[in-house]
Structure 1
Amino acid sequence: MRSARTVPTLDPVEVGDHVCWLVGPGDDFTGTARAFLSDGALFGDKVLVVGAPGSRWLQQGTAQGLVLDPDLGRAEGGCWDPEAMLGAVRREADTATREGFRALRVLARMDRVWPGGASPAEVARHELGLDALVAEGGALVVCAYHRQSFPGAALDQSVGVHPHTVGMRPVMPDFRMFSAEPDCWSVSGVVDSDGAATFRTAVSGLLSRSTTVRLRCDGLELMDAAGMQALAEAAAAFPGRRIVVEGANETVRRCWTLLGFDAPQIPVELTP
């Protein structure tokens, strides 16, 4: 089963991993990216890079692979966007399997995907969709977020919706959400007033894609009133859709009822 973790380097990244790489101003992005991509030849992976082909991190011995250049697509009048990246990863992962590769190894510079930055909602929708794809197997994906290119809220959101993180932040998010199985999402940690807005954005991203969202909360330690309010508001914003919260502990279920959220007009069901 997938679990949330922070790893010191990209070396232990394996098939099925979806990593948020937080790149600081002093980090050796070029050398680290080159080493990660070169490992593709060692492990028998097909390499896919999202970024500009003229970048130094694709030169000096990097394993050959496919390159998606979002800037070129936009310059030619195309409508390249994060959904195009999602489609490309799925397509190339299927192709890699047919061609006999172990997996598709992806490195994406997210400042090239979103050259003008991104909102927390955009980050949540894209990364949760990508995480569901990676969880199916056949790919390992590293999303490089350069800190200077994204505002704090978007950066916090990016960490919360990746199972794995490389690169430390002063304060890591209290909760993590990622794909547990098809149409089911694991929520772990603490959802309180500090992370309620981020949590609501993530849940809204899921509801925008599915009529029923299952949240597996065995690893959820606490959800306070602000977190419950965020969950209820996300559900109310998408009429005709519902949320099923599985495995919430007794304290969470009791507080949900005491605070009045256990009502017919709130399409959220809590189960043991």
Structure 2
Amino acid sequence: MPASHAASGRLIPVQRLRPGDHAFVGYGDDEVRWEAVTAFVRLGLARGEKILVLPCPEVPTDEVLARIDFPNRSPVRARERGQLVITTMRELIRPDAEFTAARQLARLRAATDRATAEGYTGLRAFIDMGWVADLGADASTVARRETGARSLFAGRPYTEVCAYDRRRFGREWVGAMEWAHPRAVLERLGGLRVALGAGGVLCFVGEADAANRAAFVRPLELALARTAAARRLTVDLTGLHFLSVGCAVGLLVLVRGAAGHELVEVRCDRGQHRMLRRLGAEAVPRLAPIQTEGGARPC
């Protein structure tokens, strides 16, 4: 996935998806494909949303259920009460047999309204695009749907992830569909991506945990060296789902040692801001942690 996704704020961890988000995720491994969908389902359950999962038609339902049930069986109860539904594109557009963008959008719009009427906080759908070959849909129809679905999301409690198997679709097609979505989701849970945003802002997306400490600290070192002449640096942490104490301490240590800088601004969410303050951010010269309003998007 291009680094420009992170730099533009398009790339986010699956945990950062919100109602109104229409996101792309790619995969090229049969094991990796389950990471995003499992997290997507569990977060939806925790947020009181109704969830539709449309797996690749070639994957047996028993395998889908086994994957999303692991390591505990809380999704079983959600299926029993109707909060979690494993379905197919064929079932979604039934009784019609032919896929059209308008037909699918109408069904999902009605499903969203039904979900809220049933008392759920909204609807989220994870759609594996393996259905395209199964229904014989042509590329132009799919493209029109992906680029013309804004009314399904704008101001509505609906969240959708479209998953593309890179082994099934051509490279150019996957790239085009990637950019057709307003958001792109990190393929692997626990991953960390770094990119330069507008104005040279250093953007982090994913998880800055113990395993990724070196991958977090090293870009900070390089960015401080790069901006020594300008004497200012802005770091954006709002794309992180997790920030470990070790990584936060690493940030404070590096900023404390950056004597040539007049200001290092750190954009952070409420939890990150609280952590930095508890670790002594106020005692670090030139460090300015800025809490974003309303959980602003990164970069």
TM tier relative to shorter chain = 0.5 to 0.7
Find the counterpart in structure 2 of residue 56 from structure 1: 63
Count, aligned residues: 165
- State which of 36, 42, 45 in structure 2 corresponds to 1:41: 45
Find the counterpart in structure 2 of residue 144 from structure 1: 163
Instruction: Supply the distance in 2 between the matched residues of 1:132 and 1:115 (Cα, whole angstroms).
Output: 26
| Cα 1:78/1:132, change in 2 over 3 Å | closer
Displacement over 6 Å in runs of 4+? none
Instruction: Supply the distance in 2 between the matched residues of 1:110 and 1:4 (Cα, whole angstroms).
Output: 25
| Cα 1:91/1:23, change in 2 over 3 Å | same
Instruction: Supply the distance in 2 between the matched residues of 1:29 and 1:141 (Cα, whole angstroms).
Output: 16
- SS, match of residue 121 in structure 2: coil
Instruction: Supply the distance in 2 between the matched residues of 1:128 and 1:55 (Cα, whole angstroms).
Output: 33
Q: Is the 8 A contact 1:118 1:150 kept in 2?
A: no
| Cα 1:121/1:167, change in 2 over 3 Å | farther
Find the counterpart in structure 2 of residue 23 from structure 1: 27
Q: Is the 8 A contact 1:31 1:57 kept in 2?
A: no
| Cα 1:80/1:69, change in 2 over 3 Å | farther
Determine which structure has more spread, i.e. the larger CA radius of gyration: 2
CA RMSD of superposed structures (Å)? 3.0
1:132 deviates by: 2.8
1:28 deviates by: 1.7
- SS, match of residue 124 in structure 2: strand
- State which of 97, 100, 106 in structure 2 corresponds to 1:79: 97
- State which of 88, 109, 112 in structure 2 corresponds to 1:90: 109
1:138 deviates by: 1.4
1:47 deviates by: 0.7
Q: Which runs of 5+ in 1 are unaligned?
A: 169-272
Q: Is the 8 A contact 1:105 1:139 kept in 2?
A: yes
Q: Which has the higher contact order (CA 8 A, sep 6+)?
A: 2
| Cα 1:24/1:82, change in 2 over 3 Å | farther
- SS, match of residue 20 in structure 1: strand
Amino acid at match of 2:129: M
1:32 deviates by: 2.7
Instruction: Supply the distance in 1 between the matched residues of 2:185 and 2:53 (Cα, whole angstroms).
Output: 18
Instruction: Supply the distance in 2 between the matched residues of 1:100 and 1:77 (Cα, whole angstroms).
Output: 26
Find the counterpart in structure 2 of residue 131 from structure 1: 150
Superposition TM-score, scaled by structure 2 size: 0.48
- Percent of residue pairs identical: 26
| Cα 1:117/1:150, change in 2 over 3 Å | farther
Q: Is the 8 A contact 1:50 1:69 kept in 2?
A: yes
Superposition TM-score, scaled by structure 1 size: 0.52
Instruction: Supply the distance in 2 between the matched residues of 1:72 and 1:44 (Cα, whole angstroms).
Output: 24
Q: Which runs of 5+ in 2 are unaligned?
A: 1-6, 188-299
Find the counterpart in structure 2 of residue 110 from structure 1: 129
Larger helix percent: 2
Report 1:2-21 matches (<5 A). 5-21=9-25
Q: Deviations over 1:12-51 (max 9, x none)?
A: 1111110001112265212331221122220010111223
Find the counterpart in structure 2 of residue 259 from structure 1: none
1:118 deviates by: 6.1
1:137 deviates by: 1.4
Find the counterpart in structure 2 of residue 210 from structure 1: none
Q: Deviations over 1:247-267 (max 9, x none)?
A: xxxxxxxxxxxxxxxxxxxxx
User: Does 1:67 find its partner at 2:86?
Assistant: yes
Q: Is the 8 A contact 1:6 1:165 kept in 2?
A: yes
